[in-house]
Amino acid sequence: MGNINIKKLALELNLSTATVSRALGDSYQISSETKRKVLELAKSLNYEPNPIASNLRNQKSKTIAVIVPEVANHFFSLAINGIEEIARKRDYHVLIYQTHENSAAEIAFTLRLLSGRVDGILISTSSETNDKQHLIEASQSIPVVFFDRVYEDIEGVKIITDDYESAYQAVQHLIESGCKKIAYLLALNNLSTGEKRLNGYLTALADNGIPYDQDLIIASTTSNDQNYTLIKNLLTNNKPDGILSSIEELAFPCYYACRELNLNIPRDLKIISFSNLDCAPLLNPSLTTITQPAFEIGSEAACILFKIFDKRCFEPNETRILKSVLIKRESTAI
């Protein structure tokens, strides 16, 4: 068969070259059965690794990449702080890329990083992302840990929060505060994060005998002005007495619209939002929030990535769920 290389081994086994390479390197990502098949064939064909290529592959950049939708978002800035704290302890550099919710930018960043510039990637996906092939390719090529915004059908370690339970608890709080007509401001609907928050809202309504009303669910857009108009129309035409906002960016338009419509918070409308805003207690009235452990999510994601580097024992397709906290403030007061 001539000189045996990884490509020929991959062709014989009908596997990708990346899978064969990882199997030969005893990667955690490859099953024991696949490793056995690869090693047996390599031995039978007298495969010898190319030491120069191996050295190039094994050379560490001491750099990790973090891809997030928006650095200015307080959640992501806290998560990045958590990542950087762990990276500094390992003497690693951190490259930060922000997609601005643009799927094309996310794809370009991710594929560019597969050239060996970084040893691993930590990523929270864009809400606009529909084509997941670049994420699959990345997770098959280098260590990748997903955090907060994830796709459950892509293999890899995922660090998330209890979005379903948090939304359910928020709606329950609104009901206990006297709300009977609760609206939902929908975002992240392409991701499991958004789906779980919506399902938590719907289940809480059903469990309390409150009928589902499609007109009370407002799908957000990428335009701040349009979101404000949608929320103002909701308050004018449907007159909810409670609102759950799935992202913090939609909470401020609620305040602005209430002021323009002379609605009092919380007497006329009670508001809860998923948010890590430092200014939430300073708003007038202070905003009740579902606060995610953003710093801990970042540090946990980074710790897992370094465990992958060290080939320490862990579940390669594990999902770790951290608990959010419902912080009750004046916007939901009775």
| DSSP state, residue 2 | -
Q: Does 314 score more than 70 pLDDT? A: no
What is the band of 31 on the pLDDT scale with cuts at 50, 70, 90? confident
Residue 324 and residue 161 in contact, taking contact as beta carbons nearer than 8 Å: yes
The reported pLDDT for the residue numbered 313 is 54
**Helices marked H in 60-191:** 74-89, 103-112, 133-141, 163-176
Q: Dig out the tokens for 116 from the structure.
A: 């060996």
| DSSP state, residue 155 | -
What is the band of 56 on the pLDDT scale with cuts at 50, 70, 90? very low
The reported pLDDT for the residue numbered 148 is 94
What is the band of 49 on the pLDDT scale with cuts at 50, 70, 90? low
Q: Does 141 score more than 60 pLDDT? A: yes
Q: The dihedral of CA 136, 137, 139, 145: what is its sign? A: negative
What is the C-alpha separation between 301 and 122, in angstroms, rounded? 7
Q: Does 231 score more than 80 pLDDT? A: yes
What is the C-alpha separation between 263 and 270, in angstroms, rounded? 10
191 vs 232: which has the higher pLDDT = 232
The reported pLDDT for the residue numbered 291 is 96
For the chain, give the mean pLDDT.
Answer: 89
What is the C-alpha separation between 185 and 294, in angstroms, rounded? 21
What is the band of 161 on the pLDDT scale with cuts at 50, 70, 90? very high
The structure's pTM equals 0.79
Q: Does 43 score more than 90 pLDDT? A: no
Average pLDDT over residues 126-151: 86
Strands 182-186 and 144-147: unpaired
What is the C-alpha separation between 221 and 230, in angstroms, rounded? 9
Average pLDDT over residues 30-57: 73
